[in-house]
Structure 1
Amino acid sequence: MKIFMGLVFAGWIALWSVKAWRDWWPVWLPKLNDHTNSTYFGSQVLGSIYRHLHAQTGYKDSHSSYLVAWKRPVLVRGPQGVVSGIELTFAVMWKIQTAIVGFYCSLAGHLCFAFLFFPITRISSLLPLIGLTSDSSIKYHIWLGHIVMVLFTAHGVGYFVYWASTNQLVKLIKWSKTHIANVPGELALLAGFALWATTLPRIRRRKFELFYYTHQLYIAFVFFYALHVGMSTICQILPGVYLFMVDRYLRFLQSRTKVQLVSARLLPSEGIELNFSKRLRYNPLSTIFINVPSVSGLQWHPFTISSNSNLEPQTLSVIIKKEGSWTQKLYRMLSSNDALNVSVEGPYSPISANFLSYKSLVMISGGSGITPFISIIREFIHQSNTHNIATPNLVLICAFKNSRDLTMLDLLLPVGGNISDLSRLNLRIEAYITRENEAPGDNDQPMIRTICPKHDPSQAPIVAVLGPNSWFYLAMIISSSFIAFLLLLGITQRFYIYPIDKNTGKVYSRSTMTVLQLLFMCVCIIIACTIPFLKVKRENLKEAKQIKALDVLTPTTSPSSWYHCSDKELESLPQESLVKATNVHYGRRPNLKMILLAMEDKDVGVMASGPAGMRHKVAAVCSSGIADNLHFESISFSW
């Protein structure tokens, strides 16, 4: 029985040892699965049988047993005290497995790292192939980031424990010129820890600048990671990193231009509508990133575009609700009519417009979540008034905290619009005021103020970073820069590195080679992106001069003259408020389940935008199976 138990246990240990060999997974394991159908006996079962027979027979082990040699002390003065032979054997086996676990954690983390940058590449032709946008895929980047850091942390801890238990801590400061360099790996892990710690939702939302600053450590993380594993291993994750680098540099080029803010509408709820001059086209539900250097030089905030490219061919609008310190400072600056320099990145359009295909469309919003639906309603206004197209039945369910927020409904119409523009729409608006039990008096009705900031000649309209042929230019940038990168690698390897290796008999430093290859990659991307960007910018300047010359010849009542507002603050023009055409419910929240189940059309689109709890409730109703005609789409901007 002892011999049988020993053989089974030895086979089990041998199985773990063999798994560390490189041929186990690709060669041996498939053959074992094809030619065997075995099971492993548990040592616990055999041990129980042995102990039962031992107790029944009263057998006693002899001191001359071969196990006596294993029980003798092997280490006496070590840090672990007196250690027997069998204890030392188990300790060595455990240490080897610790190193193996650390190794396989690095492989798994490397695989996740390969996909980490795809979700945050905003100008991407790959994400639409699987039905995603950069906004909707941010959550995948967050998930992958957490997994990568957990696995890389386990990798580092595993090797640290192994080195500490085998008295090899000196390897912590080892920087090999030809193999894995440990010091860069440790520096990469430290940068990752600092980056990881500030991604917690509470820190990210309350200390956004701290989150943004530390998130730039991804540059150090990638750089030291490349030095740690070498460029040959980095090539396995290169597609995601390379595409992100192209996208990031294009965004940098676009953000250098200051855009023209032609007007702003200040709401009584202290919300803001910013109206920019633009010369481009975009789809409803598009997003844009905005930076105001006088408020914060580094903060970039994403906003859903509320204007419609067809209905408002010369302006682009975003709505900002006053919540944090950034929006509060922006509101104060606009109220004092200070000149603002604004930079943008985008816009980034969604992959499709499914809302156009439904028979009925229910839009449910909470607070500033109404913003995406403004662009949708304006699109239907354009279709009904311009193309005379029948639009679906529209139901807008919006919840606000107090009655002052109701003025956001007036933003359903663009600047200069009239409520008659909605006459052809079958639109029903149900507004719910959750913190007030009755309507305010007529004298308390707030007004919207329209402000025209000072005009700066250096500011320009918003244009696409690569012009109207952006996808063609992007394809040319990626292909040309990568081909140039490969040519530089080949030339450097043949005429610089190879002669050094051949003539000196020494292996060229892998870290130096990695730095050179990263430098070549950056130079190729910069040149390939800058050339088409400058070409498009020159064409835009030429077009702007032509438009300016045309404005001089046209009457002042032309639409373009609206951009040159006088330097004063105006009260909004008297018009029939959209709030008066709305069913307002005070002191309660909407019964979402009852509203949705009451929709009888065959094909009903349900869109929810706002707090996570509200979106979850809507999704639960649509996925319950009670009503098969409901098709849910979530809009989230609170990542």
Structure 2
Amino acid sequence: MSRAVRAGLKLSIAAILAVWVVIWILKPTKLWKKSWHVAEDWAESTGVLRESGLNVIVFCFPILAMAVLLYILAYLRPREGRIRQSTSLIARFSDPIIINSPIGTLSSCELLAAALFLVFLAWTYYSNLASDLKRTTPSKILKLNRRQLKVMAAGVRFGSLSEACLALLLLPVLRGMSLFNKYMFGVQFEASVRYHVWIGNGIMLFTLLHSATIMSVWGEKSSLWVEITRWQSTGRVYLAGAIALLTLCVIWLSSLPPVRRTKFHLFYLTHHLYLVFLFFFLMHAGAGHFYSVFAGVLLFALDKILRIAQSSRSTSVLSVRVLACKAIELTLPKHPSMQYAPTSTIFVKIPSISRLQWHPFSITSSSNMDDDRLSVMIKCQGPWTSSLYEKIQSIQVPGSESTKSLIAAMEGPYGPATFDYQRYGSLLLVAGGSGITPFLSILQDVASRNRDTNTCPTRIELVYAVKKSVDLSMLTPISWLLLDWPPGLGHLKLRVFVTQEKDRSGNSVSEILHEMSQVKAVILDQHSSGEHVPKPQGLLLKAAVAGLASVAFLVSLVCLTHVFIHKEKRSSPNKTPSWISDTLVLCSFVIATSCAATMAVALSMGRKDVHVPAVPRNKSKSAETCSENVQNVWGEDEINFGKRPNLIDIVSELQNELGRSEVGVFVCGPDSLQRSVASVCRATCSQKYGRKNKLLLRFHSINFSL
């Protein structure tokens, strides 16, 4: 029965998505515009939906309905581990195709999706512009000749491309209420952020072209200042458009990599100007165009509300550990029912350092091993992390008057609903520097599978490159596991490369790990009011919130329209001022989000989680239990000084050992390392070995920084 329900939900989601795509494809055509005018006249004449209600149902409801169905489908998915299976067609299309590009490594799926989207933008621009040019006649009202009207039309239609991009802009950065990245395609949140960046760059480009083209016509007429400061009662409000453009420029400039990496706080604060941009976009384009992008705006607002509800509670950090490489391990209490996939991230705020700054970090623990706690690794690399390092150092000083406690607020975890590593019989994990952190959770998750070879790999090779030998202390959280890998879990091999040092000690990997693992955790004081990390809202609650907000917006908008906007003919000279329709959209949005927030708070208060106190300890429960009845299998450990990993040789050894096999290759680290691994995977898959001996490398990139 449940399988039939899931199949029905998948079919419904696919059908709704197809309808939404077809609407956008037909939208610029003459057929659609003529049919749409007829539909609007019908909606006005019926006296129920009116024009505004029709716009909401056609342009907003498809995405909102997909969201509700996706949350229900995710709730109904099987909870048991996925049995190993052959690689799907989607996995084959995830292999890297373009590597050395300005926007990073591109897979076949990404390249195909980008090409289709560019074709759609070209089609939209051509169809709209061709239709405009056919009916271009000199305007006495605007005082423009035919050439100026054509230039003006070309500029206006660049704005339609910005609108199309804006409809997708916020969907990739949904966290708790993620759609396509988590529940449909299993894309990691950090990876989906780059789709947001691509779309944002497109909006910036098309908005600049839109503004520059139109302003060039005004400049030619010597009326630039007069036009740009006008606030018309109906139609396009140029002053609002100018303010939206300036706001967008500030957001875009603060998002450039040099600014984002060195001044993250500035980037974070200026990004909240999206509220100003969306408001003036509504005032400039009007409610009719805003409906096309409203679904993403509403889902983003609901996502923000649920995130605030979760992060409003704080918790006391159980213990801290400062590693030799100036990395900090924080251990926090969590409820046993909180589950997360390997490579998940969590956003952390330390109020004693900053009440505004949230920073994402990879979770290094496994919810299958440690059911009452989670751990994150924080490398000291910026002002915020340096402040945290100094605070913890002051706590560790004997006799210090500093408070022996640390309060933190958490948001998340965020990650894929499932993780692909279970599909492969063999894994090749390649990490550089702090890129090892996602693999710490993967290895612990493998060890938690209780020797079930149907749901975990039987051969794992970990290649870890660091600059200094002290950086190997990043392996400390799983040193107990690496030193005593249970033989029943299969074969594990570690290759370490220290690139900027020469071998002076002559120690093996196991000796280095054993020495660095002696660092003890500092147990912190617990506040009596301290709670475990709050769980994110459940999937059914998200579906209910999204459904309620959608209906509340439609009902409130239709009711307000009946009260404040009287019926009028399309050709009537006395049209209702645009700001009235725009204000009704804002009021309906506030009503919808208020209803959703009230429902979320009520259901959250009704869901009483039994507080399970986590007992502070120096070692994790898994480290205490899994070290029994195992033997050291580190006869093949390998450490290399003064050189980088030769990936071609490593792959050749895998080819000789495994023959024809499918290997999951996961890489996390600097861009140069990711490009190198992607190049080797692409070259290996393109080589024509015999059918029985070909090694298939399936490339997966893991990003751990935004």
Structure-1-length-normalised TM-score: 0.76
Q: 1:621 and 1:491, CA in 2 relative to 1: closer, same or farther beyond 3 A?
A: same
Select which of 606, 626, 632 maps to 2:665: 606
Partner of 1:597: 652
Give, as a single letter, the amino acid of the residue that structure 2 aligns with 1:288.
Answer: I
> Matched residues in 2 for 1:262 and 1:94: separation?
70
Give, as a single letter, the amino acid of the residue that structure 2 aligns with 1:325.
Answer: P
> How many equivalent residue pairs?
527
Give, as a single letter, the amino acid of the residue that structure 1 aligns with 2:385.
Answer: T
| Structure having greater relative contact order (Cα 8 Å, sep ≥ 6) | 2
> Matched residues in 1 for 2:562 and 2:378: separation?
56
Select which of 487, 502, 515 maps to 2:555: 487
Partner of 1:377: 443
SS at match of 1:121: coil
> Matched residues in 2 for 1:419 and 1:385: separation?
18
SS at match of 2:561: helix
Select which of 483, 487, 495 maps to 1:430: 495
Mark the runs of 5 or more structure 1 residues left unpaired by the alignment. 1-21, 29-90, 549-559, 566-572
Give, as a single letter, the amino acid of the residue that structure 2 aligns with 1:615.
Answer: Q
Partner of 2:70: none
State how 1:464-483 maps to structure 2 within 5 Å. Answer: 464-466=535-537, 470-483=538-551
SS at match of 1:462: coil
Give, as a single letter, the amino acid of the residue that structure 2 aligns with 1:381.
Answer: A
Q: 1:130 and 1:409, CA in 2 relative to 1: closer, same or farther beyond 3 A?
A: closer
Aligned-residue offset at 1:628: 4.2
SS at match of 1:356: helix
The answer to whether the 8 A contact 2:485-2:632 is kept is no
The answer to whether the 8 A contact 2:328-2:389 is kept is yes
Partner of 1:246: 302
The answer to whether the 8 A contact 2:349-2:410 is kept is yes
Aligned-residue offset at 1:254: 1.5
> Matched residues in 1 for 2:260 and 2:578: separation?
37
Q: 1:295-354 CA deviation, whole Å, 9 max, x = no partner?
A: 233222211211111110001111111111211111111122243221111101314322
Q: 1:285 and 1:296, CA in 2 relative to 1: closer, same or farther beyond 3 A?
A: same
Partner of 1:100: 153
323-332 or 419-428, larger mean C-alpha shift = 419-428
Q: 1:467-520 CA deviation, whole Å, 9 max, x = no partner?
A: xxx11111111111111111111211112333999xxx9644322431332232
> Matched residues in 2 for 1:244 and 1:370: separation?
31
The answer to whether the 8 A contact 1:177-1:510 is kept is yes
> Matched residues in 1 for 2:393 and 2:236: separation?
58
Q: Percent identity?
A: 30
Q: 1:67-104 CA deviation, whole Å, 9 max, x = no partner?
A: xxxxxxxxxxxxxxxxxxxxxxxx94542332122111
Aligned-residue CA RMSD (Å): 3.2
Select which of 392, 404, 408 maps to 2:474: 408
Partner of 2:254: 198
Give, as a single letter, the amino acid of the residue that structure 2 aligns with 1:179.
Answer: G
Partner of 2:179: 125
> Matched residues in 1 for 2:598 and 2:394: separation?
38
> Matched residues in 2 for 1:632 and 1:491: separation?
53
Partner of 2:331: 275
Give, as a single letter, the amino acid of the residue that structure 2 aligns with 1:95.
Answer: Q
Q: 1:285 and 1:216, CA in 2 relative to 1: closer, same or farther beyond 3 A?
A: same
SS at match of 2:374: strand
Q: 1:146 and 1:498, CA in 2 relative to 1: closer, same or farther beyond 3 A?
A: same
The answer to whether the 8 A contact 2:485-2:633 is kept is no
2:418 equivalent to 1:352:
yes
Q: 1:538 and 1:386, CA in 2 relative to 1: closer, same or farther beyond 3 A?
A: farther
The answer to whether the 8 A contact 1:402-1:433 is kept is yes
> Matched residues in 2 for 1:131 and 1:374: separation?
20
SS at match of 1:362: strand
> Matched residues in 1 for 2:151 and 2:322: separation?
61
> Matched residues in 2 for 1:174 and 1:615: separation?
51
Give, as a single letter, the amino acid of the residue that structure 2 aligns with 1:433.
Answer: V
> Matched residues in 2 for 1:577 and 1:219: separation?
57
> Matched residues in 1 for 2:203 and 2:419: separation?
34
Partner of 2:163: 110
> Matched residues in 1 for 2:408 and 2:634: separation?
32
Q: 1:253 and 1:382, CA in 2 relative to 1: closer, same or farther beyond 3 A?
A: same
The answer to whether the 8 A contact 1:409-1:579 is kept is no
Q: 1:259 and 1:421, CA in 2 relative to 1: closer, same or farther beyond 3 A?
A: farther
SS at match of 2:153: helix
485-494 or 165-174, larger mean C-alpha shift = 165-174
The answer to whether the 8 A contact 1:249-1:526 is kept is no
Q: 1:556-611 CA deviation, whole Å, 9 max, x = no partner?
A: xxxx433799xxxxxxx9xx999998422111111111102321321111111100
Select which of 680, 683, 696 maps to 1:629: 696
Give, as a single letter, the amino acid of the residue that structure 2 aligns with 1:355.
Answer: Y
Q: 1:237 and 1:418, CA in 2 relative to 1: closer, same or farther beyond 3 A?
A: closer
2:30 equivalent to 1:26:
yes
The answer to whether the 8 A contact 2:410-2:534 is kept is no
Partner of 2:370: 312
Q: 1:349 and 1:95, CA in 2 relative to 1: closer, same or farther beyond 3 A?
A: same
> Matched residues in 2 for 1:197 and 1:103: separation?
24
Partner of 1:292: 350
> Matched residues in 2 for 1:119 and 1:578: separation?
43
> Matched residues in 2 for 1:312 and 1:132: separation?
25
Structure of larger gyration radius = 1
> Matched residues in 1 for 2:588 and 2:30: separation?
35
> Matched residues in 2 for 1:120 and 1:23: separation?
26
2:230 equivalent to 1:174:
yes
> Matched residues in 2 for 1:104 and 1:214: separation?
28
Q: 1:564 and 1:434, CA in 2 relative to 1: closer, same or farther beyond 3 A?
A: closer
Q: 1:519 and 1:411, CA in 2 relative to 1: closer, same or farther beyond 3 A?
A: same
Partner of 2:594: 526
209-218 or 92-101, larger mean C-alpha shift = 92-101
147-156 or 519-528, larger mean C-alpha shift = 519-528
Partner of 1:456: 527
> Matched residues in 2 for 1:622 and 1:386: separation?
28
2:616 equivalent to 1:562:
yes
SS at match of 1:516: helix
State how 1:184-195 maps to structure 2 within 5 Å. Answer: 184-195=240-251
Give, as a single letter, the amino acid of the residue that structure 2 aligns with 1:143.
Answer: W
> Matched residues in 1 for 2:179 and 2:29: separation?
35
The answer to whether the 8 A contact 1:262-1:564 is kept is no
> Matched residues in 1 for 2:455 and 2:681: separation?
28
Give, as a single letter, the amino acid of the residue that structure 2 aligns with 1:109.
Answer: S
Q: 1:299 and 1:152, CA in 2 relative to 1: closer, same or farther beyond 3 A?
A: same
388-397 or 197-206, larger mean C-alpha shift = 388-397
Structure-2-length-normalised TM-score: 0.69
> Matched residues in 2 for 1:308 and 1:328: separation?
27
Partner of 2:132: none
Q: 1:234-289 CA deviation, whole Å, 9 max, x = no partner?
A: 00111211111111121122121112311112101111111111111111111111
Aligned-residue offset at 1:413: 5.1
Partner of 1:17: none
SS at match of 2:599: helix
> Matched residues in 1 for 2:649 and 2:483: separation?
29
The answer to whether the 8 A contact 2:552-2:595 is kept is no
Give, as a single letter, the amino acid of the residue that structure 1 aligns with 2:666.
Answer: M
Select which of 318, 330, 344 maps to 2:388: 330
> Matched residues in 2 for 1:418 and 1:103: separation?
61
Q: 1:366 and 1:580, CA in 2 relative to 1: closer, same or farther beyond 3 A?
A: farther
Q: 1:126 and 1:604, CA in 2 relative to 1: closer, same or farther beyond 3 A?
A: closer
Q: 1:131 and 1:384, CA in 2 relative to 1: closer, same or farther beyond 3 A?
A: closer
Select which of 237, 261, 264 maps to 2:293: 237
The answer to whether the 8 A contact 1:403-1:440 is kept is no
